[in-house]
């Protein structure tokens, strides 16, 4: 068949197919809508914002102001960010002769972002920020990530850099950099990863030399640096981990340096180009518009002076990892919000498709023609699973932000709230990002074959979401962190008290007369008992130095923890307001998804021996 004819046949086939789908040209109408009311409800009645507002612990923030900010952040996400997600995916960021060009329309989008003041939402007031609580930040981040993960990750890193500089840098550095970073006039990056040093930062090799004038020269290669180079801003501020010549080995010998792309003159204007450049950008599965850069420091090819990128120390020499952790903890919760943002967008898309697409007969449908697929129990199961997991993950993440806000308040509760934030951060990061991918995958399934076709956008959500369980510490590393560092907090009491609180929700549920909750109370109570048993088992393993046994169960434990906590938070939401499907969703979660926790507990307490024994099956044949 000649090429032209073959093409025409395909076009016609495609056209007929779309007409029969009953949804031709409707993809744009299925654009993301920010679930502002649900987000506000979760913040206020599940995470605890309402009681904070009542007690005025967050300054003069009022409920109306919260609603107004969320509404406007949601509008920006839906009307400004989301419409550019597709072009960002198709065009991607491009590197030519050291210059990275962002997709069409993205630079203007970033300009509107700054103009709207969004970059400074939580930034320090002293440097032009609005100083709003982390709870509002994560809620807004969720919506921006629903709009486009590839866009939201850039400012996320800038905000993390702001926090690290504010906490650890000298007053001079703060005076030069903070205002520009808070406003978004300059963006920040986080440079940890090297080819031989990913999860294990002990292996880090980038080096720093003292110059004697208070500055340092940085040499080395960093890979996978998000927004390492781009055309959004005229300067980029890199936070770089490197070793001094006399540094002790391992993570105790790592220092943190601020390395700007352009040096800054005393009057704040941009001076000479620093010796740092982007050598390549990665071709990747998703988030195509987020430039993932290989950065070269100090090879003499970019700067104007002698080789070596000029850097300034942040914090103390050899204490850089602790400073970087300020940025990383912030970024871990923020990456969790990427998972939730994608999950919400995927759920909305799938629900809209399922209401339109018609196939087969359904008991509950008596209308003309084939039934909309949303009438089929299996499709409803998928959609409800998507919605329930998304809301459970949202509740955990917002509760983590609530703890972060309280840990910053002066007073006696600081240690408790810091431990709570520490406990929930790895859970929020890992569970939310797993949910992001799982829900996006279910979204593709609901669309059937059209889910696999790029045009619907379901496939992009799946591709984009896959990175979130990997970066900012893989989810495996989060699980190890939860088990080995967070379970022992306060001699193991903090986590047990938290589990006690979850049990309290199950009791409230049991004594409530709210309708529609089915067996939720008894199932949640049983899941809490199982979580308690798994936690005590892991704490015993750690106490008896049976580390491998504890590590074998770390990932299933994190999942068990998150499903149990998620169920309790959905119950809390149902108790606050059983209407709007909240009681029904809590019951669905308890009766359809929570059953996994019993099996996960068995894996945690009894899976290690088999894991060890089966390792021989991995030997090369």
* Rounded-to-integer distance, Cα 258 and Cα 216, Å: 10
Q: Which residue is nearest to ligand FAD (CB)?
A: 198
Shortest distance, position 196 Cβ to ligand FAD, whole Å: 8
The residues of the shown chain that bind ligand FAD, judged by CB under 6 A, are: 190-193, 198-200, 224-226, 284, 292, 467, 470-471, 473-474, 476-477, 480
Of residues 509 and 551, the one with the C-beta less far from ligand FAD: 551
Q: Which two tokens stand for residue 281?
A: 């950008």
Shortest distance, position 571 Cβ to ligand FAD, whole Å: 32
Of residues 148 and 193, the one with the C-beta less far from ligand FAD: 193
Residue pair 578/516 in contact (Cβ under 8 Å)? The answer is: yes
Shortest distance, position 338 Cβ to ligand FAD, whole Å: 11
- Which residues, other chains included, contact 377 with Cβ-Cβ below 8 Å and sequence gap of 6+? none
Query: 71: part of which helix (H) or strand (E)?
Result: helix 63-75
Number of neighbouring beta carbons within 10 Å of residue 307: 14
Shortest distance, position 132 Cβ to ligand FAD, whole Å: 25
Q: What is the CA radius of gyration of the chain?
A: 25
Of residues 193 and 535, the one with the C-beta less far from ligand FAD: 193
Of residues 237 and 480, the one with the C-beta less far from ligand FAD: 480
Shortest distance, position 233 Cβ to ligand FAD, whole Å: 16
- Which residues, other chains included, contact 34 with Cβ-Cβ below 8 Å and sequence gap of 6+? 70, 73, 74, 75, 77, 78, 143, 146
Query: 40: part of which helix (H) or strand (E)?
Result: helix 36-41
What are the phi and psi torsion angles at 264 (to 5°)? -110, 125
Of residues 55 and 545, the one with the C-beta less far from ligand FAD: 545
Strand 236-242 versus strand 187-191 pairing type: parallel
Query: 503: part of which helix (H) or strand (E)?
Result: helix 493-510
Number of neighbouring beta carbons within 10 Å of residue 352: 18
Q: Which of 499, 493, 494 is nearest to 562 (CA)?
A: 499
Shortest distance, position 459 Cβ to ligand FAD, whole Å: 18
- Which residues, other chains included, contact 273 with Cβ-Cβ below 8 Å and sequence gap of 6+? 261, 262, 263, 302, 303, 304
Shortest distance, position 470 Cβ to ligand FAD, whole Å: 6
Q: Which two tokens stand for residue 469?
A: 């369980």
Of residues 480 and 590, the one with the C-beta less far from ligand FAD: 480
* Rounded-to-integer distance, Cα 478 and Cα 232, Å: 32
Of residues 39 and 287, the one with the C-beta less far from ligand FAD: 287
* Rounded-to-integer distance, Cα 513 and Cα 86, Å: 47
Q: Which of 297, 100, 275, 284 is nearest to 194 (CA)?
A: 297
What are the phi and psi torsion angles at 240 (to 5°)? -125, 130
Q: Which two tokens stand for residue 558?
A: 């994190």
| Given 472, 501, 549, 612, the catalytic residue | 472
Find the Cα–Cα–Cα–Cα dihedral 87, 150, 47, 72, rounded to 10°: -50
Of residues 241 and 389, the one with the C-beta less far from ligand FAD: 241
* Rounded-to-integer distance, Cα 520 and Cα 594, Å: 10
Shortest distance, position 537 Cβ to ligand FAD, whole Å: 20
Which residues, in sequence order, are bridge partners of residue 190?
239
- Which residues, other chains included, contact 187 with Cβ-Cβ below 8 Å and sequence gap of 6+? 154, 155, 157, 158, 181, 227, 230, 232, 233, 236, 237
The owner of tokens 């209401």 is 355
Q: Which two tokens stand for residue 202?
A: 């002990």
Shortest distance, position 208 Cβ to ligand FAD, whole Å: 16
What are the phi and psi torsion angles at 597 (to 5°)? -65, -35
Of residues 100 and 374, the one with the C-beta less far from ligand FAD: 100
Of residues 122 and 191, the one with the C-beta less far from ligand FAD: 191
Q: Which two tokens stand for residue 289?
A: 């518009």
Does the annotation mark 472 as catalytic? yes
- Which residues, other chains included, contact 316 with Cβ-Cβ below 8 Å and sequence gap of 6+? 255
Shortest distance, position 199 Cβ to ligand FAD, whole Å: 3
Q: What positions carry a catalytic annotation?
A: 472
């Amino acid at each position: 068949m000649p090429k032209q004819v073959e093409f025409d046949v395909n076009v016609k086939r495609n056209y007929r197919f779309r007409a029969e789908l009953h949804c031709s040209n409707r993809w744009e109408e299925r654009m993301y809508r920010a679930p502002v009311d649900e987000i506000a409800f979760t913040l206020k009645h599940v995470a605890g914002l309402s009681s904070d507002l009542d007690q005025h612990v967050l300054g003069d923030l009022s409920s109306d102001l919260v609603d107004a900010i969320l509404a406007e952040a949601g509008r920006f996400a839906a009307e400004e960010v989301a419409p550019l997600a597709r072009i960002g995916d198709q065009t991607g960021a491009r590197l030519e002769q050291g210059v990275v060009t962002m997709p069409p329309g993205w630079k203007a989008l970033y300009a509107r972002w700054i103009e709207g003041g969004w970059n400074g939402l939580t930034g320090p007031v002293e440097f032009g920020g609005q100083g709003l609580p982390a709870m509002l930040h994560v809620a807004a981040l969720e919506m921006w990530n629903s709009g486009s993960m590839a866009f939201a990750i850039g400012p996320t890193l800038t905000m993390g850099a702001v926090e690290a500089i504010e906490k650890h840098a000298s007053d001079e550095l703060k005076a030069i950099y903070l205002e520009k970073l808070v406003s978004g006039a300059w963006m920040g990056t986080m440079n940890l990863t090297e080819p031989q040093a990913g999860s294990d930062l002990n292996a880090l090799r980038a080096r720093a030399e003292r110059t004697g004038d208070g500055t340092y020269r940085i040499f080395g290669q960093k890979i996978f640096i998000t927004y390492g180079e781009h055309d959004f801003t005229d300067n980029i501020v890199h936070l770089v981990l490197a070793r001094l010549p006399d540094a002790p080995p391992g993570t105790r010998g790592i220092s943190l340096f601020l390395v700007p792309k352009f040096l800054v003159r005393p009057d704040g204007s941009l001076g000479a180009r620093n010796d740092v450049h982007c050598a390549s950008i990665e071709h990747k599965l998703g988030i195509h518009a987020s430039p993932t850069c290989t950065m070269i420091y100090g090879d003499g090819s970019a700067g104007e002076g002698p080789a070596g990128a000029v850097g300034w120390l942040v914090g103390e020499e050899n204490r850089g990892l602790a400073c970087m952790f300020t940025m990383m903890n912030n970024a871990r919760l923020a990456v969790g919000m990427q998972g939730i943002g994608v999950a919400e967008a995927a759920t909305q898309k799938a629900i809209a498709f399922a209401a339109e697409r018609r196939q087969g007969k359904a008991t509950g449908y008596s209308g003309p023609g084939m039934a909309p697929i949303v009438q089929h129990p299996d499709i409803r199961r998928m959609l409800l699973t998507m919605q329930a997991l998304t809301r459970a993950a949202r509740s955990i993440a917002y509760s983590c932000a609530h703890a972060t806000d309280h840990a910053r308040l002066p007073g006696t509760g600081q240690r408790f709230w810091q431990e709570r934030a520490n406990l929930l951060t790895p859970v929020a990061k890992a569970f939310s990002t797993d949910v992001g991918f799982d829900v996006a995958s279910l979204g593709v399934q609901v669309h059937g074959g059209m889910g696999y076709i790029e045009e619907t956008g379901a496939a992009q959500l799946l591709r984009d979401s896959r990175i979130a369980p990997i970066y900012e510490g893989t989810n495996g590393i989060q699980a190890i962190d939860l088990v080995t560092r967070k379970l022992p907090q306060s001699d193991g009491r903090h986590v047990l008290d938290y589990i006690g609180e979850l049990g309290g929700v199950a009791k409230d549920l049991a004594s409530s007369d709210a309708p529609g909750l089915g067996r939720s109370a008894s199932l949640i109570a049983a899941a809490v008992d199982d979580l308690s048993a798994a936690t005590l088992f892991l704490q015993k393993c750690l106490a008896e130095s049976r580390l491998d046994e504890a590590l074998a169960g770390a990932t299933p434990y994190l999942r068990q923890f998150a499903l149990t906590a998620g169920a309790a938070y959905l119950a809390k939401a149902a108790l606050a307001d059983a209407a709007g499907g909240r009681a029904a969703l809590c019951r669905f979660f308890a009766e359809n998804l929570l059953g996994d926790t019993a099996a996960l507990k068995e894996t945690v307490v009894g899976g290690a021996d088999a894991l060890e024994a089966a390792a021989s099956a991995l030997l090369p044949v």
